Amino acid sequence: LNKISEGIIDINKAISINPSEIDYIQEAIRLQPTKSDYFNFRANIYTTSEKINKAITDYETAIKLNPKNAEYYYNRAKTKALIIVNEEVVEDFLTAIELKPESYIYYCEAYEHLENSDFFNIFIKETEKIIDKTNMKNEAKYYKDRAECFLKKMNRASEAIKDIEEA
């Protein structure tokens, strides 16, 4: 387990030093083709390189290998949203939030991507159901974080004020 963690750290370093170099992650996938993190890393590189279809394919592989990892759904949603905002994007954001409801960045990014789409109100209603189901409504931090998102990312002061009052 320690060696795997070290390997992931090394791959992250290699990617951050030279994102166009995909050789390290290709080799890691070749050696460990069932390691979902490697597919997620490569998909992130593809997204950065604007190879969106390849990125989506790798996110799908990562999700098949580890369907309980919220980050993979979140990354796939953000990547798909670069092309089009549709039901699949909404579903991926919702799945990420359901798997990790305490991660306000998922809400924030979803709000940002969906704000001007036909799906925004549906997304808000569905996230409220998830929040109710996971007892996040009782968490003042949830409201504070969401209020911060409304203010900083979306310039929606009235929603932010409501959330601050709830907190």
Average confidence (pLDDT) over 41-55: 93
pLDDT band at 2 (very low <50, low <70, confident <90, very high): very low
Through-space distance between the first and last CA atoms of the chain, rounded to whole angstroms: 40
DSSP notation for 1-48: -HHHHHHHHHHHHHHHH-TT--HHHHHHHHH-TT-HHHHHHHHHHHHH
For 52, residues 6+ apart whose C-beta sits below 8 A from its C-beta are 46, 79, 80, 82, 83
Average confidence (pLDDT) over 135-146: 67
94 or 28, which is more confident: 94
What are residue 138's phi and psi, to 5 degrees? -85, 0
Instruction: Tell me the whole-structure pTM to 2 decimals.
Output: 0.77
Identity of the highest mean pLDDT range in 77-81, 141-145, 151-155: 77-81
Q: Write out pLDDT tens, residues 69-83.
A: 999 999 999 999 999
Mean pLDDT of the chain, nearest integer: 81
For 95, residues 6+ apart whose C-beta sits below 8 A from its C-beta are 70, 73
Q: Which of 39-43, 120-124, 134-138 is predicted least confidently?
A: 134-138
The token duo for 27 is 């080799």
